[in-house]
Chains A and B, each alone.
Chain A
Amino acid sequence: QVQLQQSGAELVKPGSSVKISCKASGYTFTSYDMHWIKQQPGNGLEWIGWIYPGNGNTKYNQKFNGKATLTADKSSSTAYMQLSSLTSEDSAVYFCARELGYWGQGVMVTVSS
């Protein structure tokens, strides 16, 4: 069965970067887009972008250009998202989702000094 296992919660300082992971299993990792979605506390959902692990192609929501960088490691079937120059506005839960059908459990990122 399709499973997406995300890394653990992160507490990071303003101005720093964080890299969160999403390990896929139960399907051919290189054959499906992996999407990333942001959810701020009490708020709705915001699409960040996707990566196609088969060839590394990416597409981003313009709002997250320069903020998020998506990569994928075919050897470990793991997708990554790096968030840079963190501010309090980046505090949120971040989900990975295979073609927006199967979702990971989410990673809470808290930006605080």
Chain B
Amino acid sequence: DVVLTQTPVSLLISLGGQASISCRSSQSLVHSNGNTYLHWYLQKPGQSPQLLIYQVSNRFSGIPDRFSGSGSGTDFTLKISRVEPEDLGVYYCLQRTHNPPTFGGGTKLELK
């Protein structure tokens, strides 16, 4: 199975600051059709995960432009600018290029 390694495991950020989360894959996430199926989720305390970014850099419906995704191949990054209180929780990356889909271990975003 593809292993996704997220760093850091936890992140202390001040309100209004910027956060950057890395997701590295054990193999390339470029599908044979040319697409890259790497997605990002936020799980707020006591809630189900919500999709933020799909296919590396596309914001899901209703997601503010403070969230941005980038990367290619095996290295991907989620950036959150102007951090707000509702951004706190655990962020996960997910790859769907290879079967089975696998999730990263998560990055917990907390307030400094």
Residues of chain A touching chain B, judged by Cβ–Cβ distance below 8 Å, are 35, 44-47, 59, 61-63, 95, 97, 100-106
Contact = CB atoms under 8 A, between A and B. Distances in A.
B69 to A, nearest CB: 15
A101 B51 contact: yes
Interface in B97-112: 99-106
A62 B100 contact: yes
A63 B38 CA distance: 22
13 contacts: A35-B101, A44-B104, A45-B94, A47-B100, A47-B103, A62-B100, A95-B48, A100-B51, A101-B60, A103-B49, A104-B48, A105-B47, A105-B48
B51 A45 contact: no
B43 to A, nearest CB: 8
Interface of B: 39, 47-51, 54, 60, 92, 94, 96, 99-106
B100 A100 contact: no
Nearest to B90: A44
Contacts of A35: 101
A44 B103 contact: yes
Given A95-B48, A103-B48, A45 B100 contact: no
Most buried by A among B49, B50, B54, B104: B49
B92 A44 contact: yes
B35 to A, nearest CB: 14
